[in-house]
Structure 1
Amino acid sequence: MLGMPPLILAIATSLAALAGSFWWFGVHRRRKAETLAGIQALAGMKWRECAGLVLQALAEKGYREAPSSGQPGDGGTEFVLLKDGQRCLVGYKHGTAYRLGEANVRDFANAVQLQGAASGILVTLGSAEGFARDLARRYEVELIDGPSLWPQVEPFAPAAMVEAVREKAASETRRGKQWGMTGSLALGLLVYLAAWVAEPAPPATAAAAVTGVPASSAAPAPEPAAATAGPASPADEASRQVAEARRVLEQVESLSDEERANRRATAAARVAVLEEAKSAVWSTQSTLVVNMARPDSMDRGLVNDACAILVEYEELRFSRLQLEPPPGSQSPVRWRQCK
């Protein structure tokens, strides 16, 4: 089958399926799980607290709240923001039950005109219908729904909330990875059996069939030479990689709380001795606060160097870096996500 020995084909199939399942559950599904858990966490907050996170996220984009701009409404609120001297009306609808439709967009567009604003941003934890998005583009209104809102407000959310969201998402993806590993190995076994059945008969048997000489009467095959030491075959190397990946996952799952704490402390200590870092300490289970040696340490490769250390520890792979500028610096605090 495909001109490859059954064992090598089976191992290659298992490795490809394992890589695909790890990406699906470890990256794609984890991001979706974190977003869904984040939306639910925001919905559990008071609307004023959640609106405050929205304003912080918009402030990162250059928007500033105009004095006395809050206007509580039906389940939400409106704010007038300023950016480059232009007024922007922001409408916030709290709760995941909201489904923004064309009527919501038209009403908000009218409110933008009444406020004398040049633009508008309509935000909800719920969702926006497709026709509403088309209409919003015509009125130059930006729609931000729950899935696109959580990534923007996550850096400003309470650390305890972010930690709870990530723990919930991690527990779901761990189960997915385990199923993916089992399925990959089962698929490799099926491919091996199918390739073995489809493999052509050995040359000696085929020759006996052509000449009419029974295979049992053919000259006995010489005894195989003693195995000699040499480089590992591709099949052995692929088997070793599969076994190593499984061993690492099982080892991480079996770590005790004390062992996890020691690994976290070791990772933080390694980041702290980087040239562009002054210190590094965990503020939460998934947030590492790094005090930068210079205001431009991020441009000098600090994030890449720190993340390169953290990804060596499977349980710390998705940690968040909180980058603190040196005392007296005018640079703001930054957050970066390791992948």
Structure 2
Amino acid sequence: MTTQWLVAIGVALAIGCAASFFFLTFQRRRDETAAGIVALSAISWRGFIGMVLQALRRRGYVQVVDQEEASGDRDYVLERDGGRWILSCKHGATYVLGRNAVQALSSEVLLKNAVGGLLVTQGRIDAEARNIAARQRVGLLDGPTLWPELRDLMPAGEFEAIRARTGLLARRRVLLGWLFALLAGVATFLAMPAVETEAPGATLDTPSADVGGAPVRIEAPPHAPIETQRADLVRALGTLPAVQRAVWATGSTLQVYLERVDDKASVDAICAQVLRQPDLTSSRLQLTPPAGSDQATRFLQCRSF
């Protein structure tokens, strides 16, 4: 497997796994919280305050004043560890509570000589109100922090429906994430230069550049001695069917005995052997017919200079 494939598969897996983790964890919790806040806003005031009081009871708060009025954003007095706390609820996801809401609850705490206050809403509490609340012993619970406290107190089946919807949305996003990862892997594969894999054991000999920048001279392999070339040529010609024998008449003339000196195919085969010997290519050939033949002896050179 080439480097291109390995890198492309690695990119696709990294993006796909990261997308799956993000959409199935962080994004799904955000979607669930947003859907939960909408569901809480649809609950009646009496149902909402009942859920809040039940959630705070698990924290150790106990209601000491029971107000039965179902209308209006009434304050409730709670007790924990011998100290009294004032609970103020704002029912509605559209609320954006600021410093005024915190200061009003802080004044109520002082008026009733309570330990602190709790400000609860499905909406949002801005940063200025949070800074003031931190200095005045006012606890805050808005949408993102309120939903984890109340989700298991939702009416039967509603929380499961929210989880089913957000789970389906998360799986769709994961699928889109893997499709994007596949495209990214293909793009990475196409963008990378092709790398040829060298066969095992093969080596590439490249002349190293001289430090001074001088050109590198590649020497040709040495020729065999001319006598060796002559002997090799005689042996090679002896293997040709049309050649009876071949001898060197002089140092530059090779006498070849043939059946037919005018046979072009035989002459071409002889020249092919002559041209294989680098120092004999200009040798003169004496093509001699058999004794008693009416053919004339023929002289030629396979290569002339």
> Which category describes the TM-score, using the shorter chain as reference length?
0.5 to 0.7
Aligned to 1:185: 182
Q: Report whether the alignment pairs 1:10 with 2:8.
A: yes
Distance 1:79 1:66, change over 3 A: same
Q: Which residue is 2:128 aligned to?
A: 131
Alpha-carbon distance between aligned partners in 2 of 1:210 and 1:9, rounded to the nearest angstrom: 32
1:166 aligns with 2:163: yes
> 2: distance between equivalents of 1:210 and 1:87?
91
The CA deviation string for residues 193-218 of structure 1, in whole angstroms up to 9 with x for no partner, is: 222xx24455599959979xxxxxxx
Aligned residues: 205
Structure 1's 112 and 61: CA in aligned 2 closer, same or farther, altered over 3 A? same
CA distance, structure 1, for counterparts of residue 164 and residue 41 of structure 2: 18
Matches of 1:188 and 1:202, distance apart in 2: 21
On the 8 A contact 1:71/1:78 being kept in 2, the answer is no
Could you tell me how far apart the structure 1 residues matched to 2:89 and 2:66 are?
A: 16
Aligned match of 1:154: 151
Is the Cα contact below 8 Å between 1:127 and 1:145 reproduced in 2? yes
Instruction: Report the residue type matching 1:175 in the other structure.
Output: R
User: Which residue of 19, 22, 37 corresponds with 2:20?
Assistant: 22
After superposition, the CA RMSD in angstroms is 2.4
> Match for residue 227 of structure 1?
none
1:108 aligns to what?
105
**Partners of 2:87 and 2:131 in 1: CA distance:** 19
Q: Secondary structure at the match of 1:96?
A: coil
- Equivalent residue for 2:43? 45
Instruction: Please name the residue that 1:63 is paired with.
Output: 61
The structure with more helix, counted as a fraction of residues? 1
In the alignment, the residues of structure 2 paired with residue 53 and residue 104 of structure 1 have an alpha-carbon distance, to the nearest angstrom, of 22
Shift of 1:72: 6.3
SS in 2 for 1:116: coil
Residue 168 of structure 1: how far off its partner (Å): 2.0
Deviations for 1:56-110, whole angstroms, at most 9, x for unmatched residues? 1111111111132567674x23111111111011110000111110111111111
Report the counterpart of residue 54 of structure 1 in structure 2. 52
The aligned amino acid for 2:110 is Q
Q: How far apart are 1:111 and its partner, in Å?
A: 1.1
**Inter-partner Cα distance in structure 2 for 1:191 and 1:176:** 22
1:121 aligns with 2:96: no
Unaligned runs of 5+ residues in structure 1 are 212-339
* Deviations 1:9-66 (CA, angstroms, capped at 9, x unpaired): 1111111111100111111110000000000000000011011111111111111111
Cα distance in structure 1, aligned partners of 2:140 and 2:75: 14
- The answer to whether the 8 A contact 1:72-1:78 is kept is no
Q: Which has the larger radius of gyration?
A: 2
Write out per-residue CA displacement over residues 161-194 of structure 1, whole angstroms, 9 at most, x where no aligned residue: 1012112212221221110110111111111222
Q: Choose which of 157, 171, 175 in structure 1 pairs with 2:172.
A: 175
What is the TM-score when the length of structure 2 is the normalising length?
0.62
Conserved? CA contact 1:79–1:91, under 8 Å? yes
1:103/1:50 CA distance change after superposition, 3 Å: same
Q: Which residue of 1 aligns with 2:255?
A: none
Task: State the AA in 1 paired with 2:39.
Answer: A
3-state DSSP class of the match of 1:159?
A: coil
CA–CA separation in structure 2 for the residues paired with 1:106 and 1:186: 54
Q: Tell me which residue corresponds to 1:78.
A: 75
Alignment of 1:1-339 (within 5 A): 5-69=3-67, 74=72, 76-195=73-192, 198-201=193-196, 207=204
Which AA in structure 2 matches 1:5? T
Classify the secondary structure of the residue corresponding to 2:87: strand
In 2, Cα distance between equivalents of 1:62 and 1:103 = 28
**CA distance in structure 1 between the partners assigned to 2:203 and 2:48 by the alignment:** 76
Mapped partners of 1:147, 1:65: distance in 2: 24
Normalised to the residue count of structure 1, the TM-score between the two structures is 0.56
1:117, CA displacement in angstroms? 1.2
Please, which runs of 5 or more residues in structure 2 have no aligned partner?
209-305
Alpha-carbon distance in 2 for matches of 1:155, 1:171: 20
